[in-house]
Chain A
Amino acid sequence: MSKAKFSASRRRFMQTAGAAVAMTALGPLSFKQAQAAGKYTIGVVYVGSRSDYGYNQSHAEAAASLKKMPGLKVVEEEKVPETVAVQKTMEAMINEDGAKMVFATSFGYFNPHVLKMAAKYPAVHFAHCGGLWTDKDPKNISSFFGYIDECEYLSGIVAAHASKSKKLGFIAAKPIPQVLRNINAFTLGAQSIDPSITTHVIFTGDWSLPVKEAEAANSLIDQGCDVLTCHVDGPKVIVETAEKRGVYTCGYHANQASLAPKGYLTGAEWNWATPYKILTDAAVAGKAPVNFLRGGLKEGFVKMSPYGKAVSDKAKKMADGAKAGMMKGDFVIFKGPLKDNAGKVAVAEGVKLGQQDPVLEQMNYLVAGVVGKI
């Protein structure tokens, strides 16, 4: 290379370097804005898109409800993978945005990411959705979750009334305890009406695979299932496919009634605003974090979609009856004798597992009547 060219490049280098310095000067401008008015800052981290019409949106709606509370500032980051990225995102919320509380909404964030950050920042309150906090874990973690299996049980009751073939279909992402509990509760609800009912399960392998979910829905319908429900991140495709094929659906995460005016029976919905408010109020008031927070229909953590047109009065009566028991707090979904679908005893005779029992959060079986293996 010639000398002339060398100096030309050098000059240009200085120019761009100057531009970089100018940009640095701009930095503090925006920083000031973020620290506005000494508000209590809360960070919320999502694994998927905030507008997925499913799981992440249900959390984003709760975050939106926090924004309306006075004295709070909410910063959000979506599509944060369960890698160092989430650790750094939580740390950035704390270091760069001054967050005093962080909501980590994906189960996969818990171990090791939330555990590590909670140990590193003992003054920050970490609220994690779905995790199983134990005595060994940092005290500044709250793990919260909702007993949505109650809604699944009620959906099962409604589905059993609607089904003619007595075959129900369940499309699930992965055979993890949270999902298995839903499948089992749905099946038990249906079997409380007709013990001969079976639930056919398809695992797609991941949380958002619309084409595979549509394929699964079609396969189940072709096998004679006439009520479908699911546990994937965005149920829209499944609800729509069922409606097109003329079978019934029960929704999940949010109310999908508008997608299937004919076939939508009811659905299991989150109401995260309740735990978000409980945890935030306590944190703002400076109280020690509740480490283990759970709630069902009674506590308002979950709710049912309004019944669709196709739901018979008899079905409504039965479901409402069970719901009343749940609201009172004395309804037990998982009680012995209960066998799994391999014939082994899952819950022994005489044993009643109340909703709060942590054993239920380690569920690793499908109950008798579910067709499929884990």
Chain B
Amino acid sequence: MRSSISDYGAWLLQRIWLPLTVALIILILFAAFVALIGQSPAEVSGLLYQGGFGSAFAWQNTLLRASPLILTGLAVAIPAQAGMVMIGAEGALALGALAGAVGGIALQGAAPHVVQAGVLLAGMLCGAVWVGLSGWLRNYRGVNETISSLLFSYIGIALLNYFVEGPLKDPDSLNKPSTRPIGDNNMIGNLPGMDVHYGLLIGVLFALISWIVLTFTTSGFSLRLIGGNVRAAQMAGLRVGLWVTGAAAMGGAAAGLAGAIEVAAVQGSANASVVSGYGYTGILVAFMARQNALAVIPVAILIGGLEAAGGMLQRRLDVPDAVVLVLQGIAFVVIIASETLRGRQLFRLTPVAAKAGGAA
């Protein structure tokens, strides 16, 4: 395991060169695919770079798209520390948005900062309860958390739709059924000098704090112990149920927060538009980051960049969105498969990765 600063340097470098080598493989594969559909590989790679990272505008575009993905990535990565595969972030995000909007409406008249805090806290709490339930059910009823989180996710989305088109519908929202707005003056603004809202900062902070707690504190150690071997953890005197439920709830809080930020920084109210796949993309983010809370940030930015660049590909080359999907598919397959390129396993971050490593 890691012991000194220089080890960290090496670890960081591997974190950098491996992705870049992988990017090159991806480009080659993509060039082949692009040539196959009759486009110029050079032009496509140029556009990809330009659209995702080629200008200040492109960077802000990328960061804005990455911002919810950091949180939904954490929604998967944090429970994974305790050995859980949670795939229900989409529903927790939906309910987080709903709870955030309800909180914001309830606090109408209070100072904007109070309303904002209320929106975010309500979203976090609701997400925490929703995914925490899956963790609790796993421990106390033995219900597999992957399937229960998926089912809870679908139910959460149905609940959001039910409430925004039913009891909580703002009659003025007409063709886009929504809750009442939380108010323009209560919206979360942009970071100074940027066209990216504070949600990005919140996500990055969430990731940083999670990483520090998971890496350097006994809490993180306890979780990994549980993830690695439940019986050993029990013998060590850990209250497994509490830890498992807590890790699930923290993941849910991240997803709920993502939903609340969508309300407070983008939509202004809760509606079906917040259900746009961030939760599912988060699964991918977490796995590509090997469930490392810190690595979630660059991976989310990479995917955000691919999405921003995908738009430019569509516009410049007049290709359908499916071309972008294929590109993403190729990229993700290569990135995940590149795990095998790692010279040796530097550390066992997650029981999931460790298990896969052991099984292969």
Q: Chain A: residues with CB nearer than 8 A to chain B?
A: 1, 5-6, 9-10, 12-13, 16-17, 19-20, 23-24, 26-27, 29-31, 33-34, 43, 49-51, 75-85, 88-89, 91-93, 95-97, 107-108, 110-112, 130, 132, 174-178, 205, 361-362, 364
Main SS class of interface, B: helix
Q: Does B273 contact A (CB under 8 A)?
A: yes
Contacting A at CB under 8 A, from B326-360, are: 343, 346
Q: Known: A1-B7, A29-B43. Contact between A13 and B20, CB under 8 A?
A: yes
Q: Does B13 contact A (CB under 8 A)?
A: yes
Contacting A at CB under 8 A, from B16-71, are: 16-17, 20-21, 23-24, 42-43, 45-47, 49-51, 54-55, 57-58, 61, 64-65
Q: Does B279 contact A (CB under 8 A)?
A: no
4 tightest Cβ-Cβ pairs between the two chains A and B: A16-B20, A1-B10, A26-B46, A82-B273
- B65 with A29: CB separation less than 8 A: no
Q: How far is the CB of A219 from chain B (nearest CB, A)?
A: 19
Please, which residues of chain A bring their CB within 8 A of the CB of B307?
85
Q: How far is the CB of A364 from chain B (nearest CB, A)?
A: 7
Q: How far is the CB of A137 from chain B (nearest CB, A)?
A: 13
- Find B174's partner among A19, A49, A84, A177 (CB 8 Å cutoff): A177
Q: Does B315 contact A (CB under 8 A)?
A: yes
Main SS class of interface, A: helix
- B311 with A107: CB separation less than 8 A: no
Q: How far is the CB of B242 from chain A (nearest CB, A)?
A: 36
- Find A6's partner among B13, B314, B318, B346 (CB 8 Å cutoff): B13
Contact-residue bracket for chain B: 35 or more
Please, which residues of chain B bring their CB within 8 A of the CB of A5?
10, 343
Q: Does B316 contact A (CB under 8 A)?
A: yes
Q: Does B146 contact A (CB under 8 A)?
A: no
- B277 with A81: CB separation less than 8 A: yes
Give complex CA distance A34, B64 in Å.
Answer: 25
- Find B165's partner among A1, A26, A174, A178 (CB 8 Å cutoff): A174
Give complex CA distance A112, B277 in Å.
Answer: 19
Q: Known: A1-B11, A9-B13, A77-B311. Contact between A30 and B316, CB under 8 A?
A: yes
- A30 with B46: CB separation less than 8 A: yes
- Find B50's partner among A27, A77, A79 (CB 8 Å cutoff): A27
Q: Does B135 contact A (CB under 8 A)?
A: no
The closest CB in chain A to the CB of B173 belongs to A111
- Find A362's partner among B17, B174, B312, B321 (CB 8 Å cutoff): B174
- Find B45's partner among A26, A79, A176 (CB 8 Å cutoff): A26
- B51 with A96: CB separation less than 8 A: yes
Give complex CA distance A175, B267 in Å.
Answer: 21
Q: Which of B7, B16, B176, B267 counts the most chain A CB atoms within 10 A?
A: B176
- A82 with B276: CB separation less than 8 A: yes
Q: Does B320 contact A (CB under 8 A)?
A: yes
Give complex CA distance A20, B17 in Å.
Answer: 13
Q: Does B203 contact A (CB under 8 A)?
A: no
Give complex CA distance A20, B267 in Å.
Answer: 36
Please, which residues of chain A bring their CB within 8 A of the CB of B271?
108
Give complex CA distance A4, B19 in Å.
Answer: 20
Q: Known: A19-B24, A84-B65. Contact between A108 and B176, CB under 8 A?
A: yes
